[in-house]
Structure 1
Amino acid sequence: MFPSLLLVLLIGVAAWAGTVAGGAVLFGVVLPYAAFAVFFAGMVWRMFYWAKSPVPFCIPTTGGQERSLPFIKQNAVDCPSSTGGVVVRMMLEVLLFRSLFRNTQAEVCSSRAGGVRSTYYSSKWLWVFALVFHYCFLLIFIRHFRFFVEPVPACVTFAESLDGIMQIGAPRLFLTGGCILVALCFLLGRRLFNERLRYISLFNDYFPLWLLIGIVGTGICLRYFDKCEIALVKIFVMGLTQFSPAPAAGINTLFFVHITLVSTLLLYFPFSKLTHMVGVFFSPTRNMPNNSRMARHINPWNPPKQYFTYAEYEDTYRDAMAEAGLPLDKQPDKAAE
């Protein structure tokens, strides 16, 4: 945990010190361009690699009754046997995290009769906070499009009005900012305070969480505390999107820390487990129907078969089979004719 936190802090301090020393172009222009190029190329490479990977077995993950006899009811969503069922299951997985909803937790506790026993119960907290994080992140991502285009699209304006519907304070409080921070703290806390999860957690489990917390934290500070000139930021960001960067004079130094952390996330994204955002669509456990009883799945790794029919076998060994007294379709004298 601490190495990942230290690395995020070092990135932030380096961005702050570099901007103060006159490196605004490096952290505000060069780094974002490089990060986006790496992100785009890395994700394209990942998708190409996944798409061309062979699937030797039919291995869909199922959670219900498969299609069987007519009087046995099939679970068409959790165990689909058609493409339509796979599409429905995939939509529920992507939009509602259906498999995570079935998450259970096991504990060993003492029984009334003495001794210990295992107890399993439903655990929905991870599902709840995962939904909160992902949908808050989506709304924040949509809201930020107001910095990239002019005029601002109606969908972005609607997302802003929906996010700030409470109309608390000035500037208006966006609910997603606080909610995503709470969700990230929960996701980090479950790795810190669950000893079994902490034991198997690695650097690449903590680093994206600290990075996202840093991005959200600097964004909240820029909006509510160390306020930034929004007009200058929009001119600067629109210049980046149009490949004609505007001068960075007058923009808060914390903004460059924020954009540096975002660029770091883009650089790290294609090489991390965060690619599950796209990888779920390429996963054979999700995108395959459970129809192995109805359709044969051909293993692409199998070499071409060289078949040796019984007629060819008998033609090759007819005399030896006749001497051994084995039954033949054609006797040696008839075969010679």
Structure 2
Amino acid sequence: MKVLFSLIAVILLILVATMGAFITSLHYTFGIIIPYVAFTMFVGGFVYRIVKWGQSPVPFRIPTTIGQQKSLPWIKQNKIENPTSALGVIVRMAMEVLFFRSLFRNTKTELREGKNGPELAYGSAKWLWLGSLFFHWSFLIIIVRHFRFFLEPIPFFVQLIESIDGILQIGLPAIYLTDAFFLIAVTFLFLRRIVIPQVKYISLPADYFPLFMIMSIGTTGVLMRHFFKVDLVAVKQLAIGLATFQPVLPPGIGVMFFIHIFLVSVLFTYFPMSKLMHMGGVFLSPTRNMISNNRMVRHINPWNHDVKVHTYEQYEDEFRVKMKKAGIPVEKE
């Protein structure tokens, strides 16, 4: 039911975009107004969430560490997994953001029949790491490739990425490797949620909806490139107009383009209020971005109320007589 609900929601969005594409009077709304509103909500919502998270106090050092902590000189410290310097944290965060280092260590558990009955077995699970890596990197490269529509002249790095991405030159136009990797990876992430019982049980419509949206955006993009041709000159004219705040809506762009840009706009609007905000939240994770120096520096909670300290000398002065009667040794007679 959770899958069906999300699927129906995406299908309805596609039908709305199709209706807007066939009604000429709505082209300006779907091609200019909705993208501007979506981008404004994306930037505003993204900044708001980051600021709110940034204002959340973290009074204690709580980094998640799995490596040897810095201690005695002859014990080798793991400077990445248990960093005690800013450089170590930067390297650790880079490994996490770019290569999903913690996900690489993902394990799976299952019950297996042993000599003495069922036994809990642990094993490596690299498929999720690999699928996520392909998905995120392909998504990033596709976004960078789209810069060619918003910039003139096209930057060299965009042209270089395009040439490497389409190096196989299969067909005309060339098939981009990231397009295939992207669709395969997002399909894998979806199938994982409906095939693995444990993952299916904890999955919510909020998990399926972004997958269907991203899958639809990727599919419409591939359909535009290889099957439903659009006027690329008109698309670039519209994109540059949007980027320079001088929007122009050329005629004859094509129905598939309006569906594509509407789905992208909906995803942009939905992004700040969804789990997709982990893109920004990962940098604010205290378990990742903190130095592990609890043994070297005393960290005091700034929220702690001032407490009147009762020293041992004061304690003994107050209870000396009673302590002597009880046979408890005292420092002063």
Q: Does 1:235 align with 2:232?
A: no
TM-aligned CA deviation for residue 300 of structure 1: 3.0
* Unmatched 5+ stretches in structure 2: 325-329
Q: Does 1:60 align with 2:66?
A: no
Q: 1:219 to 1:309 in 2, by over 3 A?
A: same
The letter for the 2-side match of 1:152 is: I
Residues 147-199 of structure 1, C-alpha deviations (whole Å, 9 max, x = no match)? 00111111111111111111111111111111100000000010010011000
Residues 278-321 of structure 1, C-alpha deviations (whole Å, 9 max, x = no match)? 1111110000122111111222332244445567x48xx96x66
CA distance in 2, matches of 1:45, 1:299: 26
Aligned pairs for 1:201-240 within 5 A: 201-240=203-242
Aligned pairs for 1:185-196 within 5 A: 185-196=187-198
Contact kept, 8 Å, 1:322 with 1:328, in 2: the verdict is no
The letter for the 1-side match of 2:45 is: G
CA distance in 2, matches of 1:301, 1:38: 35
Residues 233-268 of structure 1, C-alpha deviations (whole Å, 9 max, x = no match)? 100111111222212410101101100110111111
Corresponding residue for residue 146 of structure 2: 144
Contact kept, 8 Å, 1:54 with 1:300, in 2: the verdict is no
Q: 1:115 to 1:143 in 2, by over 3 A?
A: same
TM-aligned CA deviation for residue 70 of structure 1: 2.3
Corresponding residue for residue 334 of structure 1: none
TM-aligned CA deviation for residue 114 of structure 1: 4.9
Q: Does 1:244 align with 2:236?
A: no
Q: 1:35 aligns with which of 25, 34, 38?
A: 38
TM-aligned CA deviation for residue 322 of structure 1: 7.1
Corresponding residue for residue 335 of structure 1: none
Q: 2:287 aligns with which of 285, 288, 293?
A: 285
Secondary structure in 1 aligned to 2:121? strand
Q: Does 1:198 align with 2:211?
A: no
TM-aligned CA deviation for residue 3 of structure 1: 0.7
Contact kept, 8 Å, 1:24 with 1:248, in 2: the verdict is no
Between structure 1 and structure 2, the one with the greater Rg is: 1
The letter for the 2-side match of 1:78 is: E
Corresponding residue for residue 297 of structure 2: 295
Name the stretch that deviates more: 70-79 or 155-164: 70-79
The letter for the 2-side match of 1:90 is: M
CA distance in 2, matches of 1:136, 1:232: 26
TM-aligned CA deviation for residue 222 of structure 1: 0.3
Name the stretch that deviates more: 24-33 or 64-73: 64-73
The letter for the 2-side match of 1:10 is: L
What is the TM-score when the length of structure 1 is the normalising length?
0.91
TM-aligned CA deviation for residue 110 of structure 1: 1.2
Q: 2:49 aligns with which of 46, 53, 69?
A: 46
Secondary structure in 1 aligned to 2:288? helix
CA distance in 2, matches of 1:188, 1:130: 11
How many percent identity over aligned positions? 47
Q: Does 1:260 align with 2:268?
A: no
Query: How many residue pairs end up in the alignment?
Result: 325
Corresponding residue for residue 116 of structure 1: 118
Q: 1:201 to 1:323 in 2, by over 3 A?
A: closer
Secondary structure in 1 aligned to 2:287? helix
Q: 1:21 to 1:323 in 2, by over 3 A?
A: same
Contact kept, 8 Å, 1:55 with 1:300, in 2: the verdict is no
